[in-house]
Chain A
Amino acid sequence: SSPQDQYELYAVEMEKQDDGAMDVKIKKKKTTKAAKKKEKLENMKKEMDVDDHQLSVEDLELKYQTSVSKGLNSTWAGEILLRDGPNELKPPKGTPEYVKFARQLAGGLQCLMWVAAAICLIAFGIQCGQGDLTSADNLYLAIALIAVVVVTGCFGYYQEFKSTNIIASFKNLVPQQATVIRDGDKFQINANQLVVGDLVEIKGGDRVPADIRIITSQGCKVDNSSLTGESEPQTRAPECTHESPLETRNIAFFSTMCLEGTATGIIVNTGDRTIIGRIASLASGVENEKTPIAIEIEHFVDIIAGLAIFFGGTFFVVAMVIGYPFLKAMVFFMAIVVAYVPIRLWAVFQVCLSLTAKRLARKNCVVKNLEAVETLGSTSVICSDKTGTLTQNRMTVSHLWFDNQIHTADTTEDQSGQSFDQSSETWRALCKIVSLCNRAFFKSGQDNVPVPKRIVIGDASETALLKFSEITLGNVMEYRERYKKACEIPFNSTNKFQVTIHELEDPRDPRYLLVMKGAPERILERCATIMIKGQELPLDEQWKEAFQTAYMDLGGLGERVLGFCHLYLDPVQFPRGFSFDSEEMNFPTSGLCFAGLISMIDPPRATVPDAVMKCRTAGIRVIMVTGDHPITAKAIAASVGIISEGSETVEDIASRMRIPVEQVNKWEARACVVNGGQLKDMESEDLVEILKMHPEMVFARTSPQQKLIIVESCQKLGAIVAVTGDGVNDSPALKKADIGVAMGIAGSDAAKNAADMILLDDNFASIVTGVEQGRLIFDNLKKSIAYTLTKNIPELTPYLIYITVSVPLPLGCITILFIELCTDIFPSVSLAYEKAESDIMHLKPRNPRRDRLGDVALAVYSYFQIGAIQSFAGFTDYFTAMAQEGWFPLLCVGLRAQWENDHLQDVQDSYGQEWTFGQRLYQEYTCYTVFFISIEMCQILDVLIRKTRRLSVFQQGFFRNKILVIAIVFQLCLGCFLCYCPGMPNIFNFMPIRFQWWLVPLPFGILIFVYDEIRKLGVRRHPGSWWDKELYY
């Protein structure tokens, strides 16, 4: 709820790099804020005066009672954990619960209801004061109204509470892991279990689990962009380089990313006491902006409420003019308002949206903000991350080159693809190198886990190679044990290779095996021979050329290529027990035998190409925004279909036509790859221009700030933009986007906070599901609204007729409340389960300006056509019930004054019989019930016609929506219960009615159905005609 604020904060911090005075800067910025925050900042500043970075290692050990070699004692760690609490950011303190609840009770509509209830109570009070205790209707009504407000309030509150809960439960679902050393042993534990003083290890790819004072470091670089906005990786080393804790190099901050290298460090701050934690706690309490659907709904409800007040007011005046007492007129007014306001519309929205949210959650999309479901449906541009979203986020061996041939490995997630020929001797040699020259290892105890899913400790390439050899070779760990390692030189950036020397498996063979892997060109330099089909051949120019071609081919695919070679050492020179020295390198590192190349890539997820295709047909543009290399980005974009087959970039055209890039007509190029460097020099107009020019865009090497610019440019083009992101610094882009989608696995908390939706599996295909559901729910909400609105007219007309023609009241307030809050709820919600009418993923995204949720056409059709038919049905049934009990229609007209006079005990009906007031009252209740049943019967037909807006119901299938069928049955049962349950007449004014009165409204019900079918037929047959324009909603 607070990213906006966070963003501001970061923006300031980015500025700070000019002068370096961070604390002061923040303070300056925040002085404009409330004094409380200023105070907090003062505290923060004070707290920031930590000296941990300036302490010597020994002092540090003393201070935290820890050891830089063995770590904390686990029992002591447990105690500290109890003292300090878990190492996690407390969720930002939101609005207090009671305020949230009160807000639910004090909305615009709710206030109207309160006023209505108050009027009822006053009316009842006055009645009591006059000593008239015959009817407690007003009291009932007041209670019912209050109950409605409170119940819907509770419901809304519950929904809100639940959506917060989803996030909370989700947080526990994917705990961050950290490598910690306690009692001298290495453990992988949940990061939230870490305490101050813990000795932790971080390596490339890890998120720093807390604020850490670095003790040892090997080329460790962190990405502080989330904290400072600097996108350049920053070195972390044990030396203190600056007196400010924020500037010094020996502190790594919580939630920043370790990009490469390894480091160990002592935790100096955990949880909310970390720098990020302090910033986050400052930035809390900022409200989210309203989503389009919320605006839509509010706008709609306002219109309805306005109409209700207008109608009520008109009839209030009419009633006063006719000569009703003020109080009575006031009750009329209120009754009309109650009849008109779709009280539960909001609740229905919430239910429908939460149903979809639930459905999405099952498909790994957690929707934080219910309304975002719909926003997703109107999305027209998706700016997607590459890593993890489009790809599997795991390096996988994709190609091998040996025996002068490129072999393709199986990169599918479930190993369902084709494998290559593994019979060659060369392969065996290569395989041996891959298995042995590898420091990565499986975390123990995962024997039952499928290989691709096993957790590996090691860097990405080594992990890929380990898994690859595990799959092709079998148990690598055991294999390695058979070839005992004698010496090892780990990979480093100067050598760009890695060497290990092993004893052979066969104890009789005294030779040592030297295996090496590294950057292909470096490996080739050190080779004298090449292995082809098991034969060592001299590495001549011809082979070198073959190597170059293969290397270029694989590199062109955007893949990371490694070369492999080996050498059996001379047993004379290096007998068993020879002491190899990795520093001195007292063994040959040239004249080796080249075995092959292996290339790795983070392969696209299997479902992504299909999903991208779906987006395309759905009129959604997918733009890739990644921090990766342009070549890799382009390769992945091409393989998932973001750059479609046959699309060329300007550069492609230039190289194909052999002309300089400048001469190419840029409009011919459908695709375009822009990298961050180019983007930096671009004006925003240029970017918009480029976005317009090339439908297929890939942005590579972009910084998070550039992502924001890209999103803004898309929005300038009028698009509704969905953005995926995971970093803290993505949060501005996520916030800026119409719908921010955070990654559940890779995402940082800040990103998740800023996002409206979280993909639990980080899978792009889930977004497409979301879009589909969003579009569906928009359609279905529209249907639901149409259904809900319709019965406002048959609820309203009885009053109008009652006031103007003076018939006995056909429909009471309480009955209306029952329709509104009891019988019609389930059917209107059941429409949310309706299947899509057509393939909604083949339509263009909705235009938020034009295609509105509650448009005039919908209201007019519901009110003045279907609603009118329902009113006629109700009155037919009403007059039938009256006539059959002795009151002919013409007698009813003008009867009201006599009918309602409770001292008149002998009013004559059409047959000359005389009725007491009590008898008339029960007859009136019978009318209420009859009218109620008429509306219900028509509403059953109404819900059937609302299943579709364009298709015939027969095409859609009557019973395909089981929930709707159940809802209709339920509605009927509820109607029966209300009519025939003993005691109802005196409690809720329902009377047991005769069976045939259920059937009277049926002709009108059938008319509704037939008329709507005719309407739909016309709409389908003559698109664009007058009929279509006037009657399609």
Chain B
Amino acid sequence: MLGQCRSCPGTWLRGDLGLLAPVLLAARGPPTSPAAALTMAIEKEKKTCGQLMAEWREFVWNPRTHQFMGRTGTSWALILLFYLVFYGFLTALFTLTMWVMLQTVDPYIPKYQDRLSVPGMMIRPKTDTLDVTFNVSNTETWDDYVKMLNDFLEPYNDSIQVATNDVCRPGRYNEQPDNGVLNYPKRACQFNRTSLGNCSGLSDPSHYGYADGRPCILIKMNRVINFFAGANQTMNVTCAAKKEEDAQKLGEMAMFPPGGHIDLMYFPYYGKKVHVNYTQPIVAVKFLNPEANMDHNVECKINAANIATTDERDKFAGRVAFKIRVNRD
């Protein structure tokens, strides 16, 4: 169809707009509509550009019949009214079904957690590509990281924690069952910033170690409602170079809290509406002596009885891989 009148510049236009005719709801146009004109074109071979343009113009506005795009004003009004009613009804039905559906969804507990059997892990500072690169002597390169960490650790300040959260017994889950009566809001356990030691950033002239080339990275485990991490056993986070042969270059690491330990008392999580002041447990890792001016691929993972870290498809299930690079002049 398009090839037939390639020589005519108006054809493309006509063709395309003709194709649009159904979109514009111009059903059953008169014989002068482009659709019909197309038929004629097939039957009568080529027409001149002028004729095509005239036909097209007549289709857009036919002064004889007062038809715009193949329909008169009344016709347009009727068909638009019809579609208004039709889509109005459809939208209403859609809204109704959505409303019914939302009624069936509990605002506090998700209906299904099919995808969340293994919590993911993430690092702070969060960069676009999980890549922490900075120059020790150039403050600007790590300023953002420090700021990010400061912001992130703000709620962990001991003062805030003491004010809002309970001191819980370590080593056991902080279960707060409803037992027939709603037990909202639920209390959260304290996680004090000071427990992060050298990585707490408190009165730290080295700015989490970024100023002296021994950076801290915070590792957190994703929140999953009603997930009993560790299956009642202790768990901890360990980090290592991705390739064993690079371990030497990466150097020593220090974990805070000691051993990268995560206590059971921070679980389970009850959801953001109920567990208002929930403080996510974090582990900080400080690279004590990473070799400068090279990429270090690091992988941290959680060692817990009920968290598999071997999922081939999801590289962040129970583990996190990131890159650090400390540049020195």
Contacts and interface: CB of A to CB of B under 8 A. Distances in A.
Interface of A: 295, 298-299, 302-303, 306-307, 310, 849, 852, 855-857, 859-860, 863-865, 868-869, 872, 875-876, 879-880, 883-886, 888-889, 903-906, 908-920, 922-923, 926, 986, 994, 1000, 1003-1004, 1007, 1026, 1029-1030
B86 to A, nearest CB: 7
Contacts of A916: 120, 222, 314, 316-317
Contacts of A306: 1-2, 15-16, 19
The 7 closest A-B CB pairs, nearest first, are: A912-B272, A918-B314, A916-B120, A914-B222, A916-B316, A302-B1, A884-B111
14 contacts: A306-B15, A856-B26, A868-B86, A879-B98, A884-B110, A885-B112, A903-B127, A911-B110, A911-B271, A913-B224, A914-B120, A916-B222, A919-B120, A986-B313
A905 B19 contact: no
A846 B86 CA distance: 32
Interface stretch (B27-35, B203-211, B290-298): B27-35
Given A885-B115, A903-B128, A860 B121 contact: no
B86 A1030 contact: no
A918 B316 contact: yes
B42 A299 contact: yes
Given A864-B25, A913-B269, 13 more contacts: A307-B20, A856-B21, A868-B86, A872-B94, A884-B112, A885-B110, A885-B115, A889-B98, A905-B316, A906-B122, A914-B122, A918-B313, A1007-B93
A919 B222 CA distance: 12
A335 to B, nearest CB: 19
Nearest to B86: A865
Given A856-B28, A903-B130, A905-B222, A863 B120 contact: no
B115 A919 contact: yes
B96 to A, nearest CB: 9
A647 to B, nearest CB: 35
B222 A923 contact: no
B102 A888 contact: yes
Contacts of A888: 102, 105
B320 interface: yes
B28 to A, nearest CB: 6
B90 interface: yes
B317 A909 contact: no
A875 B94 contact: yes
B223 interface: yes
B223 A913 contact: yes
A859 B115 contact: no
Contact of A883 (B29, B101, B108, B114): B101
B23 interface: yes
B22 A859 contact: yes
Contacts, number: 171
Interface in B261-292: 269, 271-273, 275, 278
Interface string B15-53: 110011111011111000001001100100000000000
A432 to B, nearest CB: 67
A306 B39 CA distance: 16
Contacts of B112: 884-886, 994
B184 interface: no
Contacts of A906: 120, 122, 220, 222
A1003 B28 CA distance: 31
A547 B36 CA distance: 66
Contact of B224 (A880, A914, A986): A914
Contacts of B129: 903
B126 to A, nearest CB: 8
B287 to A, nearest CB: 21
B305 interface: no
Contacts of A920: 115
B167 interface: no
Nearest to B114: A885
A439 B316 CA distance: 100
A919 B101 contact: no
Interface of A is mostly: helix
A918 B93 CA distance: 34
Given A916-B314, A919-B120, A1030 B21 contact: no
B220 to A, nearest CB: 8
A994 B115 CA distance: 13
Contacts of B79: 1030
Interface in B59-80: 78-79
Interface of B: 1-2, 15-16, 19-23, 25-29, 35, 38-39, 42, 78-79, 82-83, 86-87, 90, 93-94, 97-98, 101-102, 105, 108-116, 119-122, 126-130, 220, 222-225, 269, 271-273, 275, 278, 311, 313-317, 320
B101 A876 contact: yes
A914 B124 CA distance: 15
B19 A310 contact: yes
Contact of A915 (B1, B28, B78, B222): B222
B113 A918 contact: no
A911 B19 contact: no
B327 to A, nearest CB: 21
Contacts of B113: 885-886, 913
Contacts of B119: 914
A231 to B, nearest CB: 34
Contact of A886 (B87, B101, B110, B126): B110
A916 B317 CA distance: 7
A763 B83 CA distance: 52
A879 B272 contact: no
B25 to A, nearest CB: 6
B115 A923 contact: yes
Given A856-B28, A880-B101, A310 B90 contact: no
Contacts of A909: 110
B101 A915 contact: no
Contact of B87 (A868, A904, A917, A1029): A868
Contacts of A918: 120, 311, 313-317
Given A307-B19, A919-B115, A883 B102 contact: yes
Contacts of A859: 22
B67 to A, nearest CB: 15
A495 B276 CA distance: 124
A62 to B, nearest CB: 60
Contact of A860 (B19, B27, B116, B271): B27
A913 B225 contact: yes
A313 to B, nearest CB: 9
A915 B120 contact: yes
B82 A1030 contact: yes
Contacts of A872: 90, 93-94
Contact of A905 (B39, B120, B271, B311): B120
Contacts of B21: 856
A884 B28 contact: no
A883 B97 CA distance: 13
Given A295-B42, A905-B222, A911 B109 contact: yes
A923 B16 CA distance: 38
B100 to A, nearest CB: 10
A849 B39 CA distance: 8
A310 B272 contact: no
B64 to A, nearest CB: 20
B289 to A, nearest CB: 27
A922 B90 CA distance: 30
A889 B82 CA distance: 29
Nearest to A868: B90
Nearest to A290: B42
Contacts of B315: 918
Nearest to A307: B19
A307 B115 CA distance: 38
Nearest to A862: B22
A923 B121 CA distance: 18
Contacts of A863: 22
Most buried by B among A889, A986, A1030: A1030
A926 B21 CA distance: 36
Contact of B222 (A307, A913, A1000): A913
